[in-house]
Amino acid sequence: MNKKQLLAELEKLGMRPGRGLGQNFLMDSNLLDWIVRHSAPSADEHILEVGPGFGALTGKLLATGAKVTAIEFDHRLADYLREKYKDTSLRLIEADACKVNYAELFPAGTKFRAIANLPYSISSIFIAKMLELECGPEYMLFMLQREMGERLAAAPGCKDYGALSVRTSLDHDVKIEKIVPPEVFHPAPEVESALVSLTRIRQRNVNEVKRISSVTKLAFSQRRKQMGKVLAGSYGREKVEAAFAAAGIQWEIRPDRVSPEQFAVIAENLA
């Protein structure tokens, strides 16, 4: 869908892209083709798409024979997609993607991957939700704000390294695949975007993930302070010293110098 076609559809529906909904529609057909080639969906594979908009990516995913489940919050776009893809296998869910029960959509034993031009307003919350699933996606490819992508892919010692970096890279191989300029969207965002892939390398127990997330959030809540002091306020000095010894780190360390694997060891010992 080029800009002229997109503007015509917007006018037909009497709508303007909602800033609050993070609606930035991708118009570059070549980039859409790249996304499909790079992710290479196979026939009958389950694919989750969030924020399908006018279905530009949706149609290309369906053309591969994949079983697409799309989550759309805007009722006008949901109605549009129902009509446009009424004779296809598309499973359309009209809902807030951050509140959907994905364990019901993809029951245990159902493998799926997530490919989407994510609405920027929900990206961090939605990705965190994917990471906490008992049986999460084996692979994710998301269009994100470049800043968010750099946070996801950041390594210890980098200025962008934080709690979300730990949670993603702990169990995933995270890569910034492509930097995307604003002009391929309508409306054009004020920042560059990035296509980021997250390939799962292990699946942890949900309770373990929550423990690691809790410890990591607490540590980064005061990232300039000595991590030992920050954690001791909740767990006690003796327990934190033992956990740090198990992880091979010093009391005075700052959280941005602690690796994801060390955070996992700390959380296990604090539990």
**Which tens digit of pLDDT belongs to each residue from 42-99?**
999 999 999 999 999 999 999 999 999 999 999 999 999 999 999 999 999 999 999 9
Alpha helix positions (H), 136-259: 146-153, 163-171, 206-220, 227-235, 237-247
Percent of the chain with pLDDT over 90: 83
172-231 pLDDT, tens per residue?
999 999 999 999 998 899 999 999 999 999 988 889 999 999 999 999 999 999 999 999
Measured distance CA(256)–CA(48) in Å, rounded: 32
| Residue that is written with structure tokens 């008992």 in the block | 134
| Residue that is written with structure tokens 């959380």 in the block | 267
- Could you tell me the two tokens for 47? 């694919």
Task: List the Cα angle 119/191/39 in 5-degree steps.
Answer: 50
For residue 19, the model assigns a pLDDT of 65
Q: Which residues contact 101 (CB under 8 A, 6 or more apart)?
A: none
For residue 28, the model assigns a pLDDT of 94
How does residue 22 score in pLDDT terms, banded at 50, 70 and 90? Answer: low
Residue 131 has pLDDT above 80, yes or no: yes
Mean pLDDT, rounded, of the chain: 94
- Closest C-alpha to 116, from 186, 69, 164, 184: 69
Q: Is the dihedral of CA 32, 33, 39, 44 positive or negative?
A: positive
Is the peptide bond preceding residue 187 cis, with omega within 30 degrees of 0? yes
86-108 pLDDT, tens per residue?
999 999 999 999 999 999 999 98
Say which DSSP state 188 is in.
Answer: P
Tell me the Ramachandran region of residue 248: left when phi exceeds 0, alpha when psi lies from -120 to 50, beta otherwise.
left
Residue type, 257: R
Say which DSSP state 121 is in.
Answer: G
For residue 9, the model assigns a pLDDT of 87
pTM: 0.92
How does residue 3 score in pLDDT terms, banded at 50, 70 and 90? Answer: confident
List beta partners, residue 196: 142, 176
pLDDT (average), residues 134-159: 95
Exposure class string for 65-77: b at 16+ Cβ within 10 A, else e: ebbbbbbbbbeeb
Measured distance CA(167)–CA(127) in Å, rounded: 10
